[in-house]
Structure 1
């Protein structure tokens, strides 16, 4: 097989090609999915001892899938435009034939007998699964370390956290170990690690991507793409979107057409949400994002200060998230609970203490907040904010040293409110701190406007890279 596409491209760089380049190369016969998959597998093996992004690297399964994709492209009959594109799956979604441990030593190691809907859709499109990525236990926090698999580290500085809970996916994307990376986001778990690692991550409109089984954390939990650019995020989102009757929470609504479009900046009306719903804003993050907002204003974007319409949003999110942790803990046999992350036990026990009246009141308060945010996105094209309030901090801890905070949610104040509202939100890199740690801009759209959100992210990529 000729490996000259593109000219001068070294074999160890094949894993850096995006989905569009791979499609063109596969169609022209200049590259094979097998060659690209081998490059991504090698990259995964190379980086894993240092960063701990993977719980499983599936050479045999990936190469078998890649050979099948190669045969389809040679016959001129690919399953889709992304047939043969390498991908990773977070250790929190079911994968047929794989053990899924949820980052825990308390779960069953037996292989699963069926795919989760998102996994099944990606498989139906011919996507090649090269491995499984790390998560904290049950995906409960916005950093990635677990009793089962240890600490996942930031590729920009291994002493720092990758963020979480989709930390392994963010690292794999950043270093080129795959093109598509499936993450989940219940309070920032796609957006936080994407921001910390300098990649694109999208929490889609709730229900855009089907989920099964239902998350113990309820309808704050989303499934979405994590990639190196917005075009790849869109290609992955299209491949794993659709209706699945196993997901009752998804509803029976129609799905908007997905695709990137040219996005003119001049004339856009955006609200700038500059203060997190909890915690403090790091001065470097503040200044970098504010400079990007000013840059957009200079290009004709109408920017208006925006304040979240809700009150006590941290408490409201805790009512949902901690109760979800209690529900998840209830599935673990009592004899195994001594092996669980102590932080998870703390929030689960706090959640178990919440009574039924409080939980129903939380649903009512959430509905009011969500309606107010829907109304805001009827007035604005987008709401923009920092991706995170702080840059990545020390690996292996839930909280920055000396912060005085009690829980990860207190530094994730730009993330968790948008899980309550179920609106699409993407993060895109927009600069770096003096220490070289990535800083991101968050783009929030109206429910159903996933394409618009990613189209703006795509428009900003060359602007922010300059």
Structure 2
């Protein structure tokens, strides 16, 4: 984004020039991946013209003024419809922005369009009955991941430098790993939300970007106060300065690394393991101290996570009138059916188990500053499937590395670390204690400078 600000400042180009170029690029290339599902060029260009006037007057609103951004179709945008990936919603414009969108608007960002999501964000792939499947820009026969797959694919295709996504079980980190971009799951309360999400503290909104420094700048904007959210932190975000040239100094930082993260791992992949393990020497070179270690979970995190996921689908089904339920993605009813024997005691036990898991995570981060681990056990798999071969669509036990941190509420990030021999991207996950987003971003920047994979572009984007 620094290049955009420099161009706006000098008059080499304007926000209108950039918006027009990107709208044209989306129109030309989006059919290859189906990432952007709604454009409103007149609104986009109106925002760009307003930004251009501010830059010409020497009064930009923020570092994001004039920066084009896509927004996942789970966040409300004033004046735009919101479908949430489903067929139940109509084209009625939303009356107000969600807090994250409001912060972007206040910062002068230019909204390019909405990106694809599975209905309600309920899958680790991005496929819906509303607008079909989003394909991986690196291999259109593979999934882009989900549920922020539209945002990730749009970034990989060059449809702008930053995107707004969300993460309830890995939905920022999973597609970021599959598409060679950065996805940041903030700690619970870091980015305000409204209205309250019944999936709290699991689900949060966060930035995605081609580069770590851009994700950091966007997170600073998203973290601005919001009085309606009782869980929002009253503390300002300490934006790390990632602009200085040279190596990032991580001296004194204690980093644990683990191939399995203390979780049951039904699937493993030698290439993914090797790429993730290759992160350790990069961080040692930056001055960090590395030690192999994993959280000592008091129970398998999949147990309570399954309860929360199932009960969320049960609630979605309950709130949908019976005559409209056939419009829902069948996965919602299928997952809800898993809760046929659930009672109040099941949910209360899951809440108790989540507290024990969070306590174990907190204890782990008294010994370490960060944890390095996989995002996904395998690279992107074939389109047309919700899960890899051998696993039912309703079974999430095969990807155990992301959802524990939604239950603990801690920040976590995916940053590109390499490619498989088949040319598929792989990300590495960086997890920290509550409030550790600045350190996580600094560490991700160290990795990115050692391996500037953002400079690589998929053939589909050409």
Do the two structures share a fold, i.e. TM-score over 0.5? yes
Q: Distance in 2 between matches of 1:322 and 1:113?
A: 31
Following superposition, the deviation at residue 288 of structure 1 comes to: 1.6
Following superposition, the deviation at residue 90 of structure 1 comes to: 0.5
TM-score, normalisation: structure 2: 0.93
Q: Residues 187-219 of structure 1: CA distance to partner in whole angstroms, max 9, x if unpaired? A: 000000000000011000111111122224232
Partner of 1:257: 238
The 5-angstrom pairing of residues 361-372 of structure 1 reads 361-372=349-360
Q: Distance in 2 between matches of 1:313 and 1:386?
A: 16
Contact residue 314 and residue 339 of structure 2 kept, 8 A: yes
Q: Distance in 2 between matches of 1:367 and 1:275?
A: 21
Q: Is structure 2 residue 68 aligned with structure 1 residue 86?
A: yes
Partner of 1:344: 332
Contact residue 216 and residue 325 of structure 1 kept, 8 A: no
* Contiguous gaps of at least 5 residues in structure 2: 454-462
More divergent stretch after superposition (125-134 vs 270-279): 270-279
Contact residue 182 and residue 215 of structure 2 kept, 8 A: yes
TM-score, normalisation: structure 1: 0.92
Q: Is structure 2 residue 256 aligned with structure 1 residue 271?
A: yes
Q: Distance in 1 between matches of 2:444 and 2:274?
A: 20
Q: Is structure 2 residue 32 aligned with structure 1 residue 39?
A: no
Q: Secondary structure, in 3 states, of the residue corresponding to 1:411? A: coil
Q: Residues 112-148 of structure 1: CA distance to partner in whole angstroms, max 9, x if unpaired? A: 1111010011000000001000000110011000000
Match of 1:143 among 125, 128, 136: 125
Following superposition, the deviation at residue 295 of structure 1 comes to: 4.2
Q: 1:76 to 1:415 in 2, by over 3 A?
A: same
Partner of 1:333: 321
Contact residue 335 and residue 394 of structure 2 kept, 8 A: no
Q: Distance in 2 between matches of 1:199 and 1:390?
A: 17
Following superposition, the deviation at residue 266 of structure 1 comes to: 4.3
Q: Is structure 2 residue 309 aligned with structure 1 residue 321?
A: yes
More divergent stretch after superposition (428-437 vs 255-264): 255-264
Contact residue 44 and residue 57 of structure 1 kept, 8 A: no
Match of 2:437 among 431, 450, 456: 450
Q: Secondary structure, in 3 states, of the residue corresponding to 2:201? A: helix
Match of 2:411 among 413, 424, 442: 424
Q: Residues 426-464 of structure 1: CA distance to partner in whole angstroms, max 9, x if unpaired? A: 111111001000011111111111111111111111212
Partner of 1:302: 289
Q: Distance in 1 between matches of 2:94 and 2:452?
A: 42
Following superposition, the deviation at residue 280 of structure 1 comes to: 1.8
Partner of 1:163: 145
Q: Residues 197-251 of structure 1: CA distance to partner in whole angstroms, max 9, x if unpaired? A: 0001100011111112222423200100010011110111111113323223x24
Q: Is structure 2 residue 226 aligned with structure 1 residue 244?
A: yes
Q: Secondary structure, in 3 states, of the residue corresponding to 2:278? A: helix
Q: Distance in 1 between matches of 2:340 and 2:392?
A: 22
Q: 1:234 to 1:88 in 2, by over 3 A?
A: same
* RMSD after superposition: 1.7
Contact residue 182 and residue 225 of structure 1 kept, 8 A: yes
Following superposition, the deviation at residue 353 of structure 1 comes to: 4.5
Following superposition, the deviation at residue 419 of structure 1 comes to: 0.6
Q: Secondary structure, in 3 states, of the residue corresponding to 1:129? A: strand
